[in-house]
Every structure is written in structure tokens, then in C-alpha cells.
């Protein structure tokens, strides 16, 4: 998989989420984890890590984990499952979003018969300054779309 890189961007085609099980992340203790694609190295991300994830029916993360510095945002985009944090089990499905502080011990599972799809965004806790709107700035440049055909 290659990224196209410009002066101020990088872009890559990762394929359909349903085909994510063709990807494998080399975990140091568990060996290859199928259905996980990290984007930091591919896109040259400098302030966050993002992963695209597919967990098959009956799949689970077989341990609790936490982070030293990163908070995580889980965005569930398909399927159903359960997320276990702070001795609480939260039912997840398409549209569920969960933010976890670094100290939160978490795990999750797919307890359904369909794949569970989610994105995970990690960033150093406490580093966001302001909000997205106040960080944005208008650019004095007209929008002119070129025909792509």
C-alpha cells in the first residue's frame, strides 16, 4: 500500500472495510492481528495514531490494556459488540462513540454473528487547544473544481 504525498497532504486508498481482514498488524505478544490497519506510518501522521479495524464474529481483545499518554476515541461504524471499561459493559453498534482516558483499563468483543467495524483515534491526552472551529482559518482562494474525466 502506497501513499500519495504532496507538500501539505498525504492520501492512500486502504480498500473497503469488509476487506480489512487481509491486513495484519504484528503484535509483539499476540503475533499478527488480522483486521487492523494503522495509518501513522502510511500517512506520516505526527499528532495522532488512527487505526481501521474489523473484528470477526465471536472475536475479542483477550486482555485489558491502558495507555501511558494517549487517550483513545473509538468510533463504531458497523456491527454490534460490547466494550468493557471501569467495571462497566457498554453495548456498541454503528454510531456508538467512546472516549477512554489513558488510565482506563479497556477491552472489547464482538458477541454477534456479523463483523464489528470501528476506527480508533489516539492522541496525547490534554493537548488539544481550543476547538476545531476556532482553529480553522479562511483562505482567500476561490473554489474551482476541475473536471476529473
Q: What is the pLDDT of residues 35-60, one digit of tens each?
A: 999 999 999 999 999 999 999 999 99
**Does residue 98 lie within any of the structural domains?**
yes
Number of domains the chain is built from:
1
* pLDDT tens readout for residues 110-130: 999 999 999 999 999 999 888
**Does residue 8 lie within any of the structural domains?**
no
Residue 11 scores a pLDDT above 80 = yes
What pLDDT is attached to residue 33?
82
What is the chain's percent helix, strand, coil content, to nearest 5?
Answer: 10, 45, 50
DSSP 8-state symbol, 87: T
**Does residue 85 lie within any of the structural domains?**
yes
Residue 149 scores a pLDDT above 70 = no
* pLDDT tens readout for residues 135-145: 888 999 999 99
Backbone φ and ψ of 121, nearest 5°: -110, 125
Q: Quickly state the pLDDT bin for 81 (edges 50, 70, 90).
A: very high
Closest CA to 50 of 97, 118, 110: 118
3-state SS assignment for residue 37: strand
Average model confidence (pLDDT) across the chain: 93
**Does residue 4 lie within any of the structural domains?**
no
What pLDDT is attached to residue 93?
98
Expressed as residue numbers, the domain containing 90 is 14-127
What pLDDT is attached to residue 51?
96
Q: What is the CATH number of the domain that holds 28?
A: 2.60.120.10
**Does residue 5 lie within any of the structural domains?**
no
**Does residue 144 lie within any of the structural domains?**
no
Q: Which residue has the higher pLDDT, 82 or 128?
A: 82
Amino acid at each position: 500500500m502506497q501513499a500519495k504525498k504532496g507538500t501539505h497532504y498525504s492520501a492512500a486508498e486502504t480498500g473497503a472495510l469488509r476487506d480489512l481482514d487481509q491486513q495484519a498488524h504484528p503484535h509483539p505478544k499476540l503475533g499478527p492481528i488480522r483486521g487492523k490497519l494503522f495509518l501513522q506510518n502510511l500517512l506520516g501522521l505526527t499528532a495522532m495514531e488512527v487505526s481501521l479495524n474489523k473484528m470477526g464474529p465471536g472475536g475479542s481483545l483477550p486482555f485489558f490494556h491502558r495507555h501511558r499518554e494517549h487517550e483513545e476515541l473509538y468510533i463504531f461504524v458497523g456491527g454490534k459488540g460490547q466494550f468493557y471499561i471501569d467495571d462497566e459493559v457498554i453495548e456498541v453498534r454503528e454510531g456508538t462513540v467512546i472516549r477512554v482516558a489513558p488510565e482506563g483499563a479497556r477491552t472489547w468483543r464482538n458477541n454477534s454473528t456479523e463483523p464489528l467495524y470501528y476506527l480508533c483515534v489516539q492522541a496525547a491526552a490534554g493537548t488539544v487547544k481550543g476547538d476545531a472551529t476556532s482553529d480553522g482559518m479562511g483562505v482567500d482562494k476561490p473554489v474551482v473544481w476541475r473536471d476529473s474525466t
